[in-house]
Every structure is written in structure tokens, then in C-alpha cells.
């Protein structure tokens, strides 16, 4: 309990072996094992694993091996393959010393073997798990299997087999360090009740295949008479639950048996239970035929080849008979039919009522629409008449004023002529005044005539513009040359594909483009400004796209939304009438059957986009 010592026969004395730091070991030794390399391994109660490596020194030292979190080693075994096995309160472990040394060389400082599963690994078993000690007294047989008085570990298959009194193992409490392997391969283990001798070559594991017997049957919670080998049970219509208690005929270790059962026709998989829950219970079973299968393991954990079956028949109630289900389906179909019939009738009546209501509302809507159109027409006519009256009133009023003044002067001249007081000077003055008034009258009447001509243009006559075939690029070049000379301050740039021949109403398009170009020249630039107007032509999906864009000052925000209305202008003082864009809109939409849009940015310019349909005869 106070460490480990070495006997020196030459000096006839015992020398205590200390740790490599010179301190003595203050712990008891639980087990000792020597490997092929001469290393002596020591298992301790609280200091973990220690090793005494071969040394030329007279007194070797103890080297601590880091096996954290394991601190208590109950048993050690170095097997025939030079593998070191450690038995601990947490299970069986295997330690690889060569891996330990390699990691010690690769790293600096202490090695934490717990962080490397390749160095210290817990043994896992194929058929169970172990979270207790393996039995401390580890011995290896000739086949490489590991034994204690509690367990047998078959290393080749990974199977763990517990040793119980059913196997003949009954030595009371096994004593630690009371074990030995003889030269004949017998394994000896001492205990409080005697000595256990195991011959591994003659030992065979438990192979018994138990049958299952039925011990109790309950239906609706009430016991029902049953024989152990009963094969069939019938539940009446008012009986919907049953339970069966069963037991396997392996009495060597009944607490270690495992069970499973399956009610075929109800369960998809096996239901598992242990020796403490040997009851299969089912409720709310639907009428029909079922088959309950039961199976158990022996105490070694191997499933028995024998299965016990119980045929179960559940009788149906009247409402679970096929004729009742058929009657219910027919009743449901009839109810659905009547419901659909009633709903259809109601829907038809509602549809007729709704149709009458829709017709009444449609008539009212038509009357309201007609009234609205009439009001819009009268408002538009009133606006147009007011605009026409306003535009014509000025030149006509000036003409009337001038003619009135001329008539007054003529009356004065006649009065002097009748009184024979007419002088040559007065006559000359009359002639000068007459010429001035006649010029004023002639100018304003001509202005009124021009207004009337433009008003006539607003009344678009589609029949007056026929389709003609033109080569678009030369036609546009001629139109641009007629409107803007080549040496003007504002240049007009034409971007049009060559050899583009179209059939369209050329006169209407010429009027539209002329107004757009004249408006840009008049309104987009100040007299001293220089700028550009671009005409771009594209043909897309049987449509002609024309863009007329300038880089002038743009259109004022106050009239952007009403720019296509009649009499909208920002230069009325310079005799602009505000009819050009309105005329363009009418020609594009009514004669050319296209659309016109405007996009403007104050200070950057304005762009008009004309989208016109092409006739089937139009071609490139």
C-alpha cells in the first residue's frame, strides 16, 4: 500500500523504487504486468498507470503515464500479441505504448493520452455495453480470449459473455489478485466461497433454445381461462381489448431474458420488452383476423429459434358489417345528391336574380356612360370653342378697331371735301393713315385666316391621307433640309438604316415630324444657343419606332402632363398658338394608328417616341 520495491540479491536487501522526480510512490499497487520489451507495468488505486522501463541504472525509476480521466486501475494484462489491457471501474480499456511514445516524440511536454483515442481506447462489445469493472483478475487463454471470474471476452468476434452460477461459477465474492494460469492452460480464480477452475478448451456457452408459454389472458381487463399452449382466441363484438402474459422456459437466469412480440395485421415491427414486462396488450382492434407472435432469448442473449403463435379473431358489430357500410355509402351518396340538387336550384335562382340585377346595372351604367360622354364632348367642345374664340378674337378685334378708325378718318375727309376746306397736307395725312390702317387690317385678317386653316387641320380626315411607298432615309433627309439649313446653329442628326422602304401615310407623318422639329427649334433653344436634334429610326417586331430628341432646356414642369392638349404654350406673347403637339397627337393616334409619348428633363432635353404599325407590304 506504500509503493513498490526491488530485491537486490547481491546486496541481500530491498530497495524502494521512486518516481523519476525522486519522490516515493504513496499509493497501493493493484496489479503488475510485464511486456515483451521488458517494461513492467503497474496499476494503482489512485495514481493511474505507471511503468518501469529497462535501464542500466542500478535502481530504476517509476514513469507516470497520463491516462486521464482514468486514475484507478483494477487489473492489467499483457496478452500474447503484446497488447496491454486495463480493467477500470468504468470498463475495459486497451493501451498502445508505441503510439504513446510516438506522440511523446512529436509533441513537447506531457502527453494527454485521453485526447488521443489511438493511445487509450475503451473496448466496445458487439452484443452489449460494459460500464463497470471487468473483474480485475485478467487472464488470457490459448485462443486469445480474456477471462475473469465475471466475464468472458471473445476477442475475435467482440462478444461479451457474462459468467453466472448457471455456468457453474459460484465462488462467492472474487478476491482481487487471487488468480493464476497453469502450464496446462487452466485458469484459476479464488473467491470467498472457494476456487474456480476453468478449462477454456472444454467450456461452451449456453445454447439452450427456450419455448414461450402463455401464463395469463385478460379480455376487457377481466381474466379469461387459458392453457399454456393455447393457439386461438376470439373476441366478441363488444370486446375490443386484450392482454397476454408470457414466460420463456429458461430458468437458469430468467432475469437476463429478453422478449419481443408482434401482432401481425396491426404491428409493423417487433415490440421489445425485458423480463420485468412480460405482457403484450392491445386495445381498439378493428374486426378481423390477427396473429400474435412471441419470441425470447436465452440467458446468453441469443434469440430462440422457437416462436409461439396465438391466432386472434375480432368479431364485428352490426355497424362494422359490409352491408352496413354499403348502406351508409348509399345514404351518403343520396344525401350528397340531394344537397347538390338543392344547392344547384338555389344557385340557379341566385344566378337569375343576379343576371337581372346585372342587366339593370348595365343599363344604368350605359346611361351614365352616355351622359358622361355627352358631358365630356360638350366640355371639350366648349373648351375648343373658347380657345378658338380667344385666338380669333384678337386679330378680328384689331381689324375692327382699325377699320373703325379708318371710317372716322374717311368721314372727316368727306366733311372737309364738302366744305371745300380740304388741303393737300390733310389729304396726304389721310392717305398715310389709311395705308397704316389697311396694313394692320390686312395683317390681322391674314392671321385670322391662318388660324382657321390650322383649326381645319385639327379635324383629322383619314381619307385625305393615302398610303404611299417611300424610301425612308432620303425622304427624311429632304424633310430635314427643308426645315433646317445646313449652317444653322442647331444641327439635326439623322440615324436611319439604309435601303429601308416603307408603305405608310407619308403626308401625316411629314406633318407630325415637321411640327416636332419646328417646336424643338423654337422652344428648346434660346436664339444664341447651339445644340443638336436627333432623329433615330428603328424597326422592331413589325413596328416603326421614331425618336425625336434634343439636348435643349426641356419642357416646363407645369405643362408636362397637358402638353398634348390644345392651346397649351409657354410663348403666347410671340404668337404661338399651342396647337402643334395637339395636331401631332391626333395624326399619330387617329390617322397613323400609333402612339406618341414624351419624356423630358428640365435643363437636359426632351425626347418624343412615335411607335407606328407597319403594313404587311412594308419591307426592308
Strand 232-235 and strand 308-314: the pairing is parallel
Q: Give me the pLDDT at residue 113, please.
A: 44
Set of cell numbers at residue 571: 410663348
- Give yes or no for a contact between 570 and 552, defined as CB atoms under 8 angstroms apart: no
Query: Mind listing the pLDDT tens digit for each residue in 403-439?
Result: 887 888 888 888 888 888 878 888 888 888 888 878 7
> Alpha carbon 299 to chain centroid distance?
53
pLDDT lower than 70: segments of the chain: 1, 104-118, 373-394, 398, 447-466, 484-487, 568, 570-578, 616-620
Burial pattern 232-267, b for ≥16 Cβ within 10 A else e, equals ebebeeebbebebebbbbbebbeebbbbbbbbeeee
What is the model's pTM? 0.46
Question: How many whole angstroms separate alpha carbon 190 and alpha carbon 306?
Answer: 39
- Is residue 263 a contact partner of residue 312, using CB atoms and an 8 Å limit? yes
* pLDDT single digits (tens) 47-72: 889 999 887 777 888 888 888 888 89
DSSP structure class, residue 25: P
**What are 190's three cell numbers?**
479464488
- List the beta bridge partners of residue 550: 533, 606
Which tens digits make up the pLDDT trace of 563-611? 777 776 766 555 556 677 888 888 888 888 899 998 998 888 999 999 9
Strand 288-296 versus strand 308-314 pairing type: antiparallel
For residue 223, count CB atoms less than 10 angstroms from its CB and return exposed for 0-12, middle for 13-18, buried for 19 or more.
exposed
pLDDT tens digits for 96-122?
888 887 776 666 554 444 445 568 899
pLDDT value of position 453? 63
Q: What is the pLDDT of residue 382?
A: 59
Residue 69: cis peptide before it, omega within 30 degrees of 0: yes
User: Nearest-CA neighbor of 413 among 437, 443, 441?
Assistant: 437
Amino acid at each position: 500500500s506504500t509503493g513498490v520495491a526491488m530485491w537486490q540479491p547481491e546486496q541481500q536487501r530491498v530497495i524502494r523504487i521512486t518516481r523519476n522526480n525522486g519522490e516515493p510512490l504513496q499509493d497501493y499497487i493493484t496489479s503488475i504486468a510485464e511486456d515483451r520489451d521488458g517494461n513492467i507495468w503497474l496499476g494503482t488505486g489512485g495514481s493511474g498507470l505507471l511503468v518501469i522501463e529497462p535501464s542500466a541504472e542500478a535502481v530504476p525509476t517509476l514513469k507516470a503515464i497520463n491516462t486521464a480521466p482514468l486514475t484507478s486501475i483494477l487489473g492489467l494484462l499483457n496478452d500474447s500479441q503484446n497488447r496491454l489491457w486495463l480493467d477500470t471501474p468504468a470498463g475495459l480499456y486497451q493501451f498502445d505504448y508505441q503510439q504513446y511514445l510516438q506522440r511523446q516524440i512529436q509533441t513537447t511536454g506531457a502527453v494527454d493520452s485521453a485526447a488521443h483515442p489511438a493511445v487509450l481506447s475503451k473496448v466496445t462489445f458487439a452484443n452489449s455495453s460494459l460500464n463497470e469493472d471487468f473483474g480485475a483478475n485478467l487472464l488470457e487463454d490459448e485462443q486469445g480470449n480474456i477471462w475473469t471470474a465475471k466475464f468472458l471476452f471473445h476477442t475475435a468476434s467482440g462478444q461479451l459473455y457474462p459468467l453466472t452460477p448457471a455456468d457453474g461459477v459460484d465462488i462467492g465474492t472474487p478476491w482481487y489478485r487471487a488468480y493464476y494460469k497453469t502450464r496446462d492452460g487452466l485458469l484459476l480464480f479464488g473467491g470467498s466461497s472457494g476456487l474456480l477452475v476453468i478449462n477454456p478448451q472444454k467450456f461452451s456457452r449456453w445454447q439452450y433454445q427456450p419455448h414461450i408459454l402463455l401464463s395469463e389472458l385478460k379480455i376487457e381487463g377481466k381474466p379469461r381461462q387459458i392453457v399454456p399452449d393455447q393457439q386461438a382466441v376470439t373476441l366478441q363484438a363488444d370486446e375490443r381489448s386484450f392482454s397476454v402474459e408470457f414466460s420463456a422456459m429458461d430458468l437458469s437466469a430468467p432475469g437476463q431474458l429478453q422478449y419481443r412480440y408482434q401482432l401481425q395485421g396491426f404491428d409493423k415491427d417487433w415490440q421489445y420488452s425485458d423480463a420485468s414486462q412480460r405482457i403484450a396488450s392491445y386495445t381498439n382492434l378493428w374486426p378481423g383476423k390477427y396473429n400474435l407472435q412471441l419470441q425470447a432469448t436465452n440467458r446468453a442473449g441469443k434469440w430462440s429459434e422457437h416462436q409461439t403463435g396465438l391466432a386472434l379473431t375480432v368479431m364485428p358489430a352490426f355497424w362494422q358489417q359490409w352491408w352496413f357500410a354499403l348502406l351508409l355509402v348509399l345514404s351518403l351518396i343520396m344525401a350528397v345528391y340531394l344537397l347538390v340538387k338543392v344547392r344547384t336550384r338555389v344557385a340557379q335562382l341566385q344566378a337569375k336574380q343576379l343576371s337581372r340585377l346585372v342587366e339593370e346595372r348595365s343599363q344604368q351604367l350605359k346611361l351614365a356612360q352616355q351622359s358622361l360622354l355627352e358631358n365630356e364632348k360638350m366640355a371639350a367642345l366648349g373648351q375648343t370653342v373658347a380657345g378658338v374664340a380667344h385666338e380669333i378674337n384678337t386679330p378680328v378685334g384689331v381689324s375692327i378697331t382699325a377699320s373703325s378708325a379708318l371710317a372716322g378718318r374717311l368721314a372727316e375727309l368727306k366733311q372737309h371735301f364738302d366744305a371745300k376746306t380740304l388741303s393737300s397736307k390733310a389729304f396726304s395725312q389721310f392717305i398715310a393713315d389709311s395705308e397704316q390702317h389697311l396694313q394692320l387690317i390686312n395683317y390681322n385678317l391674314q392671321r385670322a385666316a391662318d388660324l382657321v386653316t390650322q383649326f381645319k387641320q385639327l379635324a383629322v380626315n383619314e381619307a385625305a391621307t393615302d398610303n404611299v411607298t417611300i424610301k425612308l432615309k432620303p425622304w427624311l433627309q429632304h424633310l430635314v433640309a427643308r426645315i433646317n439649313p445646313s449652317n444653322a446653329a442647331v444641327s439635326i442628326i439623322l440615324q436611319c438604316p439604309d435601303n429601308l422602304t416603307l408603305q405608310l401615310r407619308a403626308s401625316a407623318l411629314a406633318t407630325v415630324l415637321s411640327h416636332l422639329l419646328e417646336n424643338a427649334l423654337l422652344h428648346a433653344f434660346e436664339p444664341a444657343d447651339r445644340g443638336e436634334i436627333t432623329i433615330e429610326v428603328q424597326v422592331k417586331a413589325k413596328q416603326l419606332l421614331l425618336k425625336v430628341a434634343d439636348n435643349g432646356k426641356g419642357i416646363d414642369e407645369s405643362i408636362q402632363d397637358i402638353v398634348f392638349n390644345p392651346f397649351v404654350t409657354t410663348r403666347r406673347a410671340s404668337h404661338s398658338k399651342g396647337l402643334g403637339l395637339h395636331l401631332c397627337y391626333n395624326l399619330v393616334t387617329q390617322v397613323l394608328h400609333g402612339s406618341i409619348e414624351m419624356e423630358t428633363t428640365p435643363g437636359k432635353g426632351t425626347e418624343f417616341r412615335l411607335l407606328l404599325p407597319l403594313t404587311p407590304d412594308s419591307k426592308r
